[in-house]
Amino acid sequence: MKKILTVTLNPAVDKTYTTHNMIVGHVNRMRTTENIAGGKGVNVTKILRQYGCEVAATGFLGGYSGRFIAEELERKGAECRFVQTAEETRSNMNIIADDGYVTEILEPGPKITEEELVRFMEQYEKLLDECGLVILSGSVARGIQPDIYAELIRLAAVKQVPVYLDSSGESLKLGIRTESGAKPDLIKPNWKELEYIMGHRIRGREEIIEAAGFLHREGILRVIVSMGSKGLISVTGDGVYFAKAEGIRAVNTVGCGDSVVASYAIAAVKGESEEQAIRRACAVSAANATTIESASIPLETAEALWNKIIVEKISG
């Protein structure tokens, strides 16, 4: 298969600090700091590289933190095809205190100018000719309309390139009900995102399957609903599957959703069945939960989990 294209419109440098305690209005000295390239599409890129997939990454990067992200991705062997922004890429701070409190400080990220958006659209069209699958992940940057994913899906459909969409809020909603009628091939809402798309509360597994089935019948080939520690449900042309990893000691679940999306792309590259794909997604995302660093998955942990994943075919 041709290479995979990941799109991250609002990447971030994720900074993790540890400290004794954190007091608002005081000087807070940190004990350790660690910086890694983050943002959902960046996480997907890193996981795909760990599994040896050819990946091109695009979106927006600016300033020092932009260069930091590009360098990390290039070191991992991804092709960086980002558009440079005048404003600096955001940094997100996660402050972990010994007393158990975790404080997050999230920057809004750069405002994308019209000219930068035009350059991105040109770059995207060019990349569509080189890639066999597009993965759109995460929030939309400031200055960009929430219907951008709908447009990116339409452009990919014209060139018959399948698209996976993992987003939330309006950009997700508009991305699955596009005016052009083009649909993503796969979406991976979590429980809350599924409720948002459907516009009503969803209680329990039966109602998740009902909602996912509805979206599948609307034309999304694969609807994968993630339920955190409760596992995964997939509704596809091959029926309904449920998968769950038992006995996981989760230490950091950031990037678990991205692990699921990356796993489905890896399964597509390898030509795996729906059952194999959900098993892979469940093992890789559970392995991700067991490590402090997000999107850096110990392959041995994922392999060891493989046979411990419970996969159930519910119908179809």
Ligand X SMILES: Nc1ncnc2c1ncn2[C@@H]1O[C@H](COP(=O)(O)OP(=O)(O)OP(=O)(O)O)[C@@H](O)[C@H]1O
Binding of Mg ion at residue 257 (CB under 5 A)?
A: yes
Q: Which residues of 20-32 are buried (b: 16+ CB within 10 A; e: fewer)?
A: eebeeeeeeebee
CB closer to ligand X out of 103 and 301: 301
CB of 193 to Mg ion, least distance (A): 7
CB closer to ligand X out of 28 and 276: 276
228 binds, among ligand X, Mg ion, none (CB under 5 to 8 A by kind): ligand X
Residues 273-312 that bind ligand X (CB under 6 A): 282, 285-286, 289
CA distance 186 to 220: 6
Q: Which of 170, 168, 243, 183 is nearest to 216 (CA)?
A: 183
Q: Does residue 301 come out as left (phi exceeding 0), alpha (psi in the -120 to 50 range) or beta?
A: alpha
Q: Which is catalytic among the residues 14, 166, 185, 258? A: 258
Binding of ligand X at residue 255 (CB under 6 A)?
A: yes
CB closer to ligand X out of 72 and 258: 258
Q: Around 287, how many Cα atoms within 13 Å sit in the side-chain half-sphere?
A: 24
256 binds, among ligand X, Mg ion, none (CB under 5 to 8 A by kind): ligand X
Measured CA distances, 126 to 122, 137, 149, 275 (Å): 6, 19, 17, 34
5 binds, among Mg ion, ligand X, none (CB under 5 to 8 A by kind): none
Per DSSP, 4 falls in state: E
Helix pair 148-158, 169-176: axis angle to 10 deg: 30
Site string for ligand X, 209-228 (x = CB under 6 A): -----------------xxx
CB of 280 to ligand X, least distance (A): 11
| Span interacting with ligand X, options 20-28, 110-118, 245-253, 271-279, rule CB under 6 A | 245-253
The reply to whether 238 belongs to the active site is no
CB of 256 to Mg ion, least distance (A): 8
How is 132-188 classified by DSSP, letter by letter? EEEEEESPPPBTS-TTHHHHHHHHHHHTT--EEEE--HHHHHHHHS-TT----SEE-
Residues 182-211 that bind Mg ion (CB under 5 A): none
267 binds, among ligand X, Mg ion, none (CB under 5 to 8 A by kind): none
Binding of ligand X at residue 260 (CB under 6 A)?
A: yes
CB of 189 to Mg ion, least distance (A): 8
The position carrying tokens 């205190």 is: 97
How is 265-307 classified by DSSP, letter by letter? HHHHHHT--HHHHHHHHHHHHHHHHTSSSTT---HHHHHHHGG
Note whether 97 and 70 are within 8 A (CB).
Answer: no
Residues 30-69 that bind Mg ion (CB under 5 A): none
Binding of ligand X at residue 232 (CB under 6 A)?
A: yes
Count of residues near Mg ion by CB under 5 A: 1
CB closer to Mg ion out of 97 and 187: 187
CB closer to ligand X out of 5 and 224: 224
CA distance 128 to 114: 21
List the catalytic residues: 258
User: Contact positions toward ligand X, by CB under 6 A?
Assistant: 190, 226-229, 231-232, 245, 248, 250, 253-258, 260, 282, 285-286, 289
User: Contact positions toward Mg ion, by CB under 5 A?
Assistant: 257
